[in-house]
Amino acid sequence: MVRFKNRYFLCEIISKDPRCRQFIEERIVHSAVKNAVARIHGDFGVACCSIAFSVRYVNAYTGVVLFCCRKDFYQLLWSSLPFISHLENRSQHCPCSFNTLHVGATIRTCQKFLIHYNRDQLLLLLRNCTSEADREAIRKSVQSCVLVGMEQFQNKDEESEENTD
């Protein structure tokens, strides 16, 4: 059997208007990306990217989107993302731009990158925080991210020590 190799794009939708987050849906993002590929690369680009193009994950609260396409044609899709200037839902336009955070070979690598990216964003918020209550809430969020991973590693270490005894 032949395995088809894919590339996964982890992108962030940046908009000045917070009300535009209500427009972030899978079908709207899919059509916006496909239209951008059609404008930039024409029928050839649409045909190449349509083979295995899909939107795998959309988070409207954070504006994070995960795309999937074939490895052979991922550069066509990648080069079209900066030309997306708005999302359109039924005659309503929402000006936005796509920021490519990571391009990976698996969903797992994109998930790992997203965890590190979110932790870095929380630390950046912590530095810019003015009130002590906000600062404490962000500290708890950062610690909860770190502690979950640490508990898993500690449990694995304890199990491996018990197995060696």
Q: Is 3 helix (H, G, I), strand (E, B) or coil?
A: coil
Give CA–CA dist 81/76, Å, rounded. 9
8 domain residue, yes or no: yes
157 domain residue, yes or no: no
> What CATH number has the domain bearing residue 33?
3.30.70.3250
The radius of gyration computed from the CA coordinates of the chain, to the nearest angstrom, equals 20
Does position 4 have pLDDT exceeding 90, yes or no? no
Residue 31: which pLDDT band, with cuts at 50, 70 and 90?
very high
Q: What does the pLDDT average to over 9-29?
A: 88
Contacts of 99 (CB under 8 A, 6+ apart): 11, 12, 13, 14
Model pLDDT, residue 146:
54
Are 32 and 58 found together in one domain? yes
User: By C-alpha distance, which of 67, 89, 79 is closest to 12?
Assistant: 67
Instruction: Check: CB of residue 64 under 8 Å from CB of residue 11.
Output: yes
Model pLDDT, residue 149:
46
For residue range 94-140, what is the model confidence (pLDDT) as tens digits? 899 999 999 999 999 999 999 899 888 888 888 888 888 878 887 77
Model pLDDT, residue 160:
45
Are 73 and 29 found together in one domain? yes
Give CA–CA dist 91/124, Å, rounded. 37
* Domain of residue 132, residue span: 107-144
Are 66 and 128 found together in one domain? no
39 domain residue, yes or no: yes
Are 80 and 24 found together in one domain? yes
Torsion from C-alpha of 29, 30, 33, 37, nearest 10 degrees: -170
Report how far Cα 33 is from the mean position of its chain's Cα atoms: 14
Model pLDDT, residue 159:
52
Q: Is 64 helix (H, G, I), strand (E, B) or coil?
A: strand
Model pLDDT, residue 145:
65
Residue 34: which pLDDT band, with cuts at 50, 70 and 90?
very high
Question: When comparing pLDDT for 159 and 114, which is higher?
Answer: 114
